[in-house]
Structure 1
């Protein structure tokens, strides 16, 4: 259960600094919202058709690895409460270049993801208002998010709280509906009745072999983008030493409940080889029980899920620009706060970049192709950020053994699991070369790092 207690604000907040206005229930639900991506609602049909029942193991493996990344991040953030985000500890432990590369890459990750979300929201909006202009709905969407974020950080926390509640209710409803259908031996779409035996009686757990199992990783990794958001919010959290460990420790339970249980239920009711790749299994499940409003209900859930992601992106990009400004890696105007302690310059700049989503709708007819490309680029860059967190942890263990010894929240099997996770991310990059659309995104990504290297060189020359 989520702790609803209200913590007292910290008395020692310096003027001109981010305020700790997010309490435990906000952080718990931001962590849940970050762990449940739109990919679960819309992309699970494609992952099931690619990998069959072995997709359950794919989600468990990715969730297991990212739990250790979050534990490394948690120990580093709590080792020094002056760290506002992972960009700060990367700059401190690996050098200023790492803070520059991590901060700007994370900013770019969320701008790209935000553009994809704005495009998606506009498409979902069309189901209810087919005559409303797509680019106008994208513009309206950006304006609403800007308004929500510019008021106070607490309003952002409240919005994320309710967005996450909607996601949880939808998944719990799917699991309960599935369990009832299995208990009733309800007729399956592919013949026979709903039964747990469908998970292994059609070619075993690996019906598509290792190639199908590996193909599942390419899409499933995108569903976890945003899991590290709890680290970006740490600087504005009341009592981070109590709240942050709680949010991170609950990640494995959430992965099992939200991903594994929902996938098991979907495949028990509809055999995996009858799941339609380009449709949401959530819609199909509710359609099965004759719920006429199923499409609208799931459309609402997916729309709020994409809105949650875009809202989180705008929040985290503005905070990352604030941190980069404090390090001297971004223009000093990004470091100024409003009277309500909100970095408004960063907010306006990030929302201006999101207008690229509106331009995309105008310029490119094949929205889904662009959507796949930008989300793949985003996921590759997120893996870079996760890898930097692990590298920072390894350097922290080497340079500051005393801080690790005194830590109240040590990462289990710290050094070993850091190397295991880094090897896993390298393995996923190799898998991305196997499919043409992901291979194109992998070829485009180095352009971003070349631009960053030029930016770093120009900055160093300017300082010299």
Structure 2
């Protein structure tokens, strides 16, 4: 089963597809809607510092992922690496954490997309739009990998162009080239020190790091797509380099503009800080423009999310830890049942967000927020253990096509920084639920893995009957 399914995956993605797939997963509601909350919590200067640290963490993790995915380019990537170099229980847990991250995101993104359409079509129910967008994203994912990659390229391009224009217009307002309604003169960086560098204390940076890391989540999609990428030894390193410097420019540049032009006291209560800034500059139809951009951002993230979650399910089935039906591919190389099940999971998340937003859904969101950072920690640990084993087996590091620099400093530093962001949320009452929900879920995944393995040894269930070896 394993060899057969791998042969059918089509290596159709180019560098531009990988870059936009990664950006598509990263640039979403976290930047467009939630960035104001971070500014209010950490202050303008503290927020920029948080995002710079977040960018450093992402860079270190991607350096680790680059070595692994170039040496072993396969679909499902870091789940496979964790299984091989840390342990099968960890690999299993990482896969389910990552799957849950994106399926929960699917539910919230379809809801958000429906709500955005209410601005233009208030008489049509939100669920109608949510259903239509869910069908669109599902269709884009079940055709061919190349068609999916092209659609994601253009989805992501819209929001990238919008962010670049926002940074240019915002920078012009900062230096006084464009007038602002509540600034009599050019604001420059006066907002940064008006309430002190750290209005809520320097520790607020640590407390917001999980939210910042979550905002950067999606960059690791490059590793997920490694098994469907043409010339991975050249494409992946180039995509990692290109994605990282673009992310730093987009995120840090955007946060600098927002921090400089938004009053800190108002930043956290605004529906969209982008709309507020553009309206103060006097951009006509600012709300409608940003409504369209945010809509494409949401659909782009949903598109990337369904791709990522379905490939994680395929990888679990390929490793024979869940039903082999999820490893079945169409003639076009699409894991159709994995896509369907992931979409079904997104539907359940959407349902729980309506029926039980303060109980079930908040738990799912909390777990998914923590999950990405745990996945990054697994990537760092996998690279550290891979390199050690690679050398122990008598291989030369010079033979690696792509090498993580400054080993073992890079994997150790990235692991510790991710761990610090997890510890930091214990001191934030609004984020603490991530630990209360996430840790039991991780323990549940480990327990379920070892339970199924025990049943497997006793010859119970599908696993024994479908052994590929």
Give the aligned partner of residue 449 of structure 2. Answer: 456
Whether the 8 Å contact between 2:89 and 2:446 is mirrored in structure 1 is no
Distance in 1 between residues matched to 2:416 and 2:164, nearest whole Å: 34
Give the aligned partner of residue 440 of structure 2. Answer: 447
Give the aligned partner of residue 302 of structure 1. Answer: 294
Q: Tell me, yes or no, if structure 1 residue 387 matches structure 2 residue 380.
A: no
Gapped regions of structure 2 (runs ≥ 5): 458-469
Q: Tell me, yes or no, if structure 1 residue 399 matches structure 2 residue 389.
A: yes
Higher mean C-alpha deviation, range 179-188 or range 128-137: 179-188
Give the aligned partner of residue 47 of structure 1. Answer: 38
Whether the 8 Å contact between 1:111 and 1:354 is mirrored in structure 2 is yes
Change (3 A) 1:192 1:422: same
Give the aligned partner of residue 173 of structure 1. Answer: 165
Give the aligned partner of residue 9 of structure 1. Answer: none
Give matches, 1:202-351, under 5 Å. Answer: 202-273=194-265, 275=267, 277-351=269-343
Report how far residue 375 of structure 1 moved. 3.5
CA RMSD of aligned residues (A): 2.4
Q: Tell me, yes or no, if structure 1 residue 36 matches structure 2 residue 41.
A: no
Whether the 8 Å contact between 1:373 and 1:438 is mirrored in structure 2 is no
Whether the 8 Å contact between 1:27 and 1:247 is mirrored in structure 2 is yes
Q: Tell me, yes or no, if structure 1 residue 135 matches structure 2 residue 127.
A: yes
How far does the alpha carbon of each residue in 1:104-126 deviate from its partner, in whole angstroms, 9 at most, with x for none?
22112211222222222222222
Change (3 A) 1:260 1:361: closer
Whether the 8 Å contact between 2:97 and 2:368 is mirrored in structure 1 is no
Change (3 A) 1:14 1:434: closer
Distance in 1 between residues matched to 2:12 and 2:35, nearest whole Å: 35
Distance in 2 between residues matched to 1:361 and 1:261, nearest whole Å: 33
Whether the 8 Å contact between 1:194 and 1:268 is mirrored in structure 2 is no
Change (3 A) 1:180 1:103: same
Distance in 1 between residues matched to 2:264 and 2:360, nearest whole Å: 28
Whether the 8 Å contact between 2:26 and 2:301 is mirrored in structure 1 is no
Q: Tell me, yes or no, if structure 1 residue 424 matches structure 2 residue 417.
A: yes
**Alignment equivalent of 2:100, drawn from 108, 121, 124:** 108
Report how far residue 39 of structure 1 moved. 1.0
How far does the alpha carbon of each residue in 1:175-199 deviate from its partner, in whole angstroms, 9 at most, with x for none?
1111222343555454432332324
Change (3 A) 1:255 1:84: closer
Report how far residue 276 of structure 1 moved. 5.2
Give the aligned partner of residue 56 of structure 2. Answer: 64
Whether the 8 Å contact between 1:186 and 1:193 is mirrored in structure 2 is no
Whether the 8 Å contact between 1:72 and 1:414 is mirrored in structure 2 is no
Change (3 A) 1:91 1:114: same
Change (3 A) 1:323 1:101: same
Give the aligned partner of residue 5 of structure 1. Answer: none
Q: Tell me, yes or no, if structure 1 residue 378 matches structure 2 residue 371.
A: no
Give the aligned partner of residue 8 of structure 1. Answer: none
Distance in 1 between residues matched to 2:341 and 2:114, nearest whole Å: 21
Report how far residue 173 of structure 1 moved. 1.2
Higher mean C-alpha deviation, range 334-343 or range 450-459: 450-459
Report how far residue 354 of structure 1 moved. 1.3
Change (3 A) 1:381 1:201: closer
Higher mean C-alpha deviation, range 342-351 or range 315-324: 315-324
- SS at 2:173 equivalent: helix
Higher mean C-alpha deviation, range 17-26 or range 433-442: 433-442
Give the aligned partner of residue 347 of structure 2. Answer: 355
Give the aligned partner of residue 462 of structure 2. Answer: none
- SS at 1:414 equivalent: coil
Distance in 2 between residues matched to 1:168 and 1:286, nearest whole Å: 17
Change (3 A) 1:194 1:220: farther
TM-score normalised by structure 2 residue count: 0.89
Whether the 8 Å contact between 2:108 and 2:353 is mirrored in structure 1 is no
Gapped regions of structure 1 (runs ≥ 5): 1-12
Report how far residue 217 of structure 1 moved. 2.0
Q: Tell me, yes or no, if structure 1 residue 193 matches structure 2 residue 210.
A: no
TM-score normalised by structure 1 residue count: 0.90
Whether the 8 Å contact between 1:119 and 1:357 is mirrored in structure 2 is no
Change (3 A) 1:189 1:209: farther
How far does the alpha carbon of each residue in 1:62-87 deviate from its partner, in whole angstroms, 9 at most, with x for none?
11011111111110111234565111
Report how far residue 304 of structure 1 moved. 1.4
Number of equivalent positions: 451
